[in-house]
Amino acid sequence: MARSAILNVMVAAAAKAGRSLARDFGEVQNLQVSLKGPGDYVSQADKKAEDIIYSELSRARPGYGFLMEERGEVKGEDEQHRWIVDPLDGTTNFLHGIPLFAISIALERQGKIQAGLIYNPITDELYTAERGGGAFLNDRRLRVAARSRLADSVIGTGVPHLGRGHHGFYLVELRNVMAEVSGIRRMGSAALDLAYVAAGRMDGYWEDSLNAWDVAAGMLLIREAGGFCSTKEGKQDIFETGSIVAGNEAIHGALLKTIKKPVKTA
């Protein structure tokens, strides 16, 4: 595939940050046996990756703003463009030595996502998309899965945990979906979940309590791979609500209906 200049800039930044995370991941695995644990080390790895991405993107496109997990919003002189960055999505996986985490970078222009990437430096899988140009995994064109029935589908989700999300509401949704699908997967990285939907590895996905940096690149990947994304209400204000439902047209629609059903009693 031929990448634009802006996507090449993003890929270079992700690759450099990925090398840093891969080195730190090896150290975290060694720290698992220590009494103190690797928590402080992981927070430094996260910040280091964000610093690398911030530096690389700022040098390549001075004046662009940022929305980043650690720094928050950084206003730029160019009010039309904003980078949306998660330097380490799947921090808990990273902390426990589980190689399912990713860097997520998206470029927003006048409120619309123009380019995005998701990169897992451990598997060296690079997912990229540009608005109107399709979605790719390591230069191979992606399409969402073609399954049309929930009964044949594997669906990804994010499970609320300590201090996050409404556990009662989620359990209702989970029970509804469990009764309809072939399997449910919880990977621990929203960015990778969305990338897997774009790649057809999972047929659909839903989650709440997300931030813009969790989903910005993944939304574009899915849409450029022929899929659909919305809130649980079927609207497009995903950044504002923090909820997302994704899949091909049939699965997306079926998931929207299923998660809202009353709970079936045994």
Annotated binding site for Mg(2+): 69, 86, 88-89, 214
Question: Alpha carbon 213 to chain centroid distance?
Answer: 8
d(CA 196, CA 214): 14
**If we measure between CA atoms, which residue out of 239, 243, 237 comes closest to residue 173?**
243
Residues 6+ apart with CB under 8 A from 228: 222, 246, 247, 248, 249, 252
| Alpha-helical segments (H) within the chain | 5-31, 39-60, 91-95, 167-178, 190-198, 212-224, 238-241, 249-258
Answer for the pair 142, 221: CB distance below 8 angstroms, yes or no: yes
50 burial via Cβ count (<10 Å: 0-12, 13-18, 19+): buried
Detail the residues annotated as belonging to a binding site.
Answer: 69, 86, 88-89, 214
Tokens 């390591």 appear where? Answer: 138
- Return the structure tokens found at 45: 């790895």
Answer for the pair 146, 227: CB distance below 8 angstroms, yes or no: no
